[in-house]
Amino acid sequence: METAVKAKDYASAPINSKLSKEQKLDLLRGMLRIRRFEQEALKQYNSAKMGGFLHLYIGQESVAMGACSLMGDNDHVITAYRCHGHALAVGMAMNECMAELFGKATGCSKGKGGSMHFFAPDKNFWGGHGIVGGQTPLGLGLAYGLKYKGLKGAALCFLGDGAVNQGCFYESLNMASLFELPVVYIIENNKYSMGTSLERSSVVKDCLAQRGEAFLVDWAQAGGEDIYEVRATVQTAIERAHNSSKPTILELDTYRYYGHSVADANHKGGYRPNDEIETYKKDHDPIQLFKRRLIGEGLLTEEEFEKLSEDAKTEAKASVQYAEDSPLPEDGAIFEDVYFEVDRQTEAGRTGKHFFHD
Amino acid sequence: MALIEYRDALNQAFAEEIERDSNVVLMGEEVAQYDGAYKVTKGLWKQFGDKRVVDTPISEAAFIGMGIGASMLGLRPVIELMFWSFCTVAYDQIVNNAAQIRYMSGGLINCPIVIRGPANGGTNVGATHSHTPENWLANIPGLKVVSAATPYDAKGLMKTAIRDNDPVMFMENTLLYGEKGEVPEEEYLIPLGKADIKKEGKDVTLIAHGRAALTALKAAELLAAEHDIDAEVIDLRSIRPLDEETILASVRKTHRAVLVDENKPFCGVSAQIAAMLQEKVFDDLDAPVLRVTSLDAPAIYSPKVEPKQLPRPQDVIAKVLSIC
Ligand SMILES: Cc1ncc(C[n+]2csc(CCOP(=O)(O)OP(=O)(O)O)c2C)c(N)n1
Ligand SMILES: [Mg+2]
């Protein structure tokens, strides 16, 4: 197998060339952890251990891992419902994530959010949002908050190639540019929104980020399969956010191997051709590409790769055990975490009736 | 006590809270340089500057969502909707983000925002500008809904709403902005979830919120003067949380209840309270619980006709007389 020929080698970009061997292995480890976690989640989903939707990120790992690996103390992340990759990339533990999928009290959202709604504000991760495009004004707000507080940071707000067609995204772009807010919109262009190809959803077929021009927002299009390229591209936008408090739109080319959600049985040979999926898996897999890269750089052997992969698998399996062994939320938990004041039993929380079921 | 307008009472609340807490920021269309579409924020931009009083483009979804996002980082945005009717274009942000973020994050994230503006009919601006969405919003666990009838209540409730750590939807009224009332010089707060007995009485309980509370008061005056009926008037002030105790105690005393509500009847605020009354004080009731609501059609424009669409004192009196 040959890796795609690159016009530019992003390994030499300063943000990548300065990485230590251990840091590079961490990037690989991070991508492997996402993949093994989700493969395990898929297995458990198919054995009816969880309900609802399961939107797998497999195939896109380099995007979340590359972007989140750049985060400093004041950089924040928010995304849509395909959120497991970003969650693990910012440092959430597999245990709390798997337990959330199982609807357990030990889940990151205490079993109240589910697959689409992971959160870890302590890691600057603000979800996990189920309404397509609905997170784009929130990302704007994170950037607004940073600027208001005088912090040098960026809000990385991920969205899909389908989400770009939501109106609130354009309202947000205008305001980001008008108010000079440090938000980076990262379009993960996996070419499909559910069963609708980009060709069928966008009048301009070859570029979505360009839509930012209407708002004088700087934009760039880049490949998403090479984690070095992702890092180099996102770093430029983060620097723009940090140094000149300006927004950016990035469009990263990527691909999901599975259906829109696990319930989407129609994807293979349905709305997308089988050989398209196979070509991406064979020639554009972000983990395989980076593995070969690191072997080429003399930092990794096949055996070491297998070990990393096995470790990730073992961790994922352990997280299933953890989720299995965890308790369900108590029935009373249904009414917890609705109102801050009620949870804390402050005077406000003790005044008046907040719930009306009886 | 000073006699001031409802809008100035709100204005004082904003000024005091901006001064008290550096995280409070006012935002919305025309709130800064234009002094507010109804002059509720008059002078605040001049006094506090660009950082604390922010004009936004006409992008309700984006600026409400922005406020929600900023609140997750600890800001306390107070966001004006020029009309509450316009919440429809930001409904997703309010319902799916503000209301759910705490729950879906298992309590890890708070959303201490206030969204405020007028929510009333009666000004001949047609159906698109005359919605009373308090029931739409009170239907969503996670949101709080407040409605102020007087300058005193407006100021005290607004200050509390700003300090509250949950999202508060604050309903004002363009017909009340110019109304005057007594407001103390010294600081005071009015808790959410506490109704106010605006007039004590023993024969029937009139339950209302917002401007309907004033309609009920007027009706109570006439009932006393012309029919020798002593009505008690309860102003809910806060719809969610709701002061169930005060309502139930009053109806246990008077044995009769008429709900006065500018909200529409179907699944309106009064429907919720009527359900509560039949469930909790059925044995105390001497008559059916009756309702006077807005007439159940879109708000008509015609200036001579629209007033009939909203509850008027004579409508309340007629209902009361039918059970007293
Ligand atoms: C407002 C809204 N409309 C529709 C949906 C249903 N839906 C969920 S995901 C999706 C496709 C979105 O595709 P894209 O933005 O490209 O993201 P991807 O799934 O490819 O990551 C649709 C239509 C939704 N959740 N929210
Ligand atoms: Mg897509």
What percentage of residues in chain B have a pLDDT greater than 90?
A: 100
Residue-wise pLDDT for A291-342, tens only, equals 999 999 999 999 999 999 999 999 999 999 999 999 999 999 999 999 999 9
Measured in whole angstroms, the distance separating CA A57 from the mean position of its chain's CA atoms is 8
Q: Is the CB of A161 under 6 A from ligand 1?
A: yes
**pLDDT over 70, % of chain A:** 98
Verify that A277 and A348 share a domain, yes or no.
no
Q: Give the atom of ligand 1 at the shortest distance from the alpha carbon of A161.
A: 16
The residue type of B7 is: R
Query: What is the Å distance from ligand 1's center to A30 Cα?
Result: 26
**Are B69 and A341 inside 8 Å of each other by CB?**
no
Q: Which residue of A has its CA nearest to B145?
A: A354
Residue A219 included in any domain: yes
Q: Whole-prediction pTM value?
A: 0.97
* Cα gap A349→A332, rounded to integer Å: 16
Average pLDDT, integer, range B231-249? 98
Predicted pLDDT at B69: 98
User: Shortest CB distance from B65 goes to which of A119, A138, A339?
Assistant: A138
Q: A354 with A219, same domain? A: no
Expressed in angstroms and rounded, the spacing between residue A199 Cα and the centre of ligand 2 is 12
Q: What pLDDT, on the 0 to 100 scale, is given for residue A267?
A: 76
Three-state DSSP class for residue A157: strand
CATH number of residue A263's parent domain: 3.40.50.970
Q: Which of A127, A149, A338 sits opposite B141 (nearest CB)?
A: A338
In this structure, chain A runs to a length of 358
Instruction: Provide long-range contacts, Cβ within 8 A and 24+ apart, for B266-275.
Output: B266/B296, B267/B135, B267/B139, B268/B135, B268/B293, B269/B134, B269/B135, B269/B138, B269/B209, B269/B236, B269/B239, B270/B207, B271/B135, B272/A356, B272/B135, B272/B138, B273/B207, B273/B242, B273/B247
Which of B89, B101, B80 lies closest to B62, judged by CA?
Answer: B89
CB-hemisphere CA count at 13 Å for A130? 17
Of the ligands numbered here, which is closest to the C-alpha atom of A60? 1
Nearest to B161 by CA among B7, B2, B9, B17: B17
- One domain for residues A232 and A351: no
d(CA B76, CA A314): 44
> Which chain A residues are Cβ-neighbours of B113 within 8 angstroms?
none
Q: How many H helices and E strands in chain A?
A: 14, 7
Same domain, yes or no: A293 and A220: yes
| A141 Cα to the center of ligand 1, angstroms | 22
Mean pLDDT of chain B: 98
Task: Let me know the angle formed at the C-alpha of B40 by B10 and B64, rounded to the nearest 5 degrees.
Answer: 90
The full set of domains in chain B, from first to last, is 2-183 (3.40.50.970), 196-323 (3.40.50.920)
Q: How far is the CA of A197 from the centre of ligand 2 (A)?
A: 8
Number of domains forming the structure of chain A:
2
How many angstroms separate the CA atoms of A74 and B318, rounded?
Answer: 63
Please report residues of A whose CB lies closer than 8 A to that of B101. Answer: 127
Residue type present at position B5: E
Percent of chain B with pLDDT over 70: 100
For A218-250, write each residue's pLDDT tens digit: 999 999 999 999 999 999 999 999 999 999 999
CB distance from B194 to chain A under 8 Å? Answer: yes
Structure token pair of residue B96: 């799916």
Query: What is the arithmetic mean of pLDDT over B198-217?
Result: 98
CB contact under 8 A, B238 and A127: no
Chain Cα centroid distance, residue B61:
21
The reply to whether A342 and A206 lie within a common domain is no
Q: Are residues A156 and A225 part of one domain?
A: yes
Q: Is residue A2 part of a domain?
A: no
Residue type, B84: W
Write out pLDDT tens, residues A10-61: 999 999 999 999 999 999 999 999 999 999 999 999 999 999 999 999 999 9
- Smallest CA-to-CA distance from B69 within B28, B110, B8 is with B110
Residues A304 and A335 in one domain: no
Residue A188 near residue A224 (C-beta atoms within 8 A): yes
CA distances in angstroms from A35 to A66, A174, B79, listed in the order given: 14, 36, 42
Chosen for mutation from B73, B93, B248, B276 (greatest number of chain A CBs closer than 10 Å) is B73
* Residue A343 shares a structural domain with residue A234: no
Mean pLDDT, range A64-86, rounded to an integer: 98
Mean pLDDT of all residues in B226-232: 98
The number of the ligand 1 atom at minimal distance from the alpha carbon of B92 is 1
**Residues of B marked as catalytic:** 60, 129
The atom number, within ligand 1, closest to the CA of A134 reads 1
As a whole number of angstroms, the distance between CA B248 and CA B250 comes to 5
Instruction: Please tell me the distance from the alpha carbon of residue B302 to that of residue A63, in angstroms, as a whole number.
Output: 58
Q: How far apart are CA A263 and CA A55, in angstroms?
A: 9
Cβ atoms of residues B110 and B162 within 8 Å? no
**C-beta atoms surrounding A22 within 10 Å:** 9
pLDDT score recorded for residue A268: 81
Reading the block at residue B303, the tokens are 């200036």
Both A277 and A350 in one domain: the answer is: no
* Bond before A332 cis per omega within 30 degrees: no
| pLDDT tens-digit readout, A198-215 | 999 999 999 999 999 999
Q: Rg for chain B (alpha carbons), in Å?
A: 19
In a domain, A1, yes or no: no
Do A273 and A353 fall into the same domain? no
Q: Hey, what's the torsion of the CAs at A105, A110, A113, A119, to 10 degrees?
A: -140
Phi first, then psi: give them for residue B308, nearest 5 degrees: -75, -15
A143-173 residue pLDDT tens? 999 999 999 999 999 999 999 999 999 999 9
DSSP strands (E only) in B20-178: 24-28, 53-55, 76-80, 114-118, 144-147, 168-172
* Contact call for residues B293 and B135 (beta carbons, < 8 A): no
Q: Do the bridges between strand B257-261 and strand B204-208 make them parallel or antiparallel, or are there none, so unpaired?
A: parallel
pLDDT given for residue A5 in this prediction? 46
> Are the C-beta atoms of B246 and B277 separated by less than 8 Å?
no
Question: Is there a contact between B72 and A336 if contact means CB atoms under 8 Å apart?
Answer: no
Domain extent, residue A187, equals: 7-325
**Look-up: residue for tokens 């008059």?**
B42
* DSSP letters spanning A226-264: SHHHHHHHHHHHHHHHHHH---EEEEEE---SS-SSTT-
Angle (deg, nearest 10), helices A286-296 and A61-68: 60
Interacting residues of B96 by C-beta distance below 8 A, sequence separation 6+: A129, A130, A131, A134
**A28-38 in b/e burial notation, b at 16+ Cβ within 10 A?**
bbbbbbbbbbb
Provide the Cα torsion A63, A64, A69, A75; round to 10°: 120
Q: Check B160 against A348: CB less than 8 A apart.
A: yes
What digits encode the pLDDT tens for the residues B66-106?
Answer: 999 999 999 999 999 999 999 999 999 999 999 999 999 99
Spatial distance between the Cα atoms of A211 and A223, rounded to a whole number of angstroms: 18
Helix (H) or strand (E) holding B232: strand B231-235
pLDDT value for A264: 85
Assess whether A243 and A351 both reside in one domain. Answer: no
Query: Residue A6 to residues A28, A64, A223, A290, B75: CA-CA distances in angstroms?
Result: 20, 21, 10, 13, 45
Residues A303 and A244 in one domain: yes
Report whether B161 contacts B16 (CB < 8 A). Answer: no
Beta strand B204-208 with B231-235: parallel, antiparallel or unpaired?
Answer: parallel
A150: in domain:
yes
Of B65, B105, B164, the CB nearest to A168: B65
pLDDT score of A4 more than 70: no
Q: Which two tokens stand for residue A102?
A: 């199982």
Q: Is A24 in the pocket of ligand 1 (CB under 6 A)?
A: no
Q: Which residues surround ligand 2, an ion (CB under 5 A)?
A: A 160-161, 190, 193
Give the chain B residue nearest A77 (alpha carbons): B69
Cα A310 to Cα A25, A86, A304, A316, B24: the distances in Å are 14, 21, 10, 10, 51
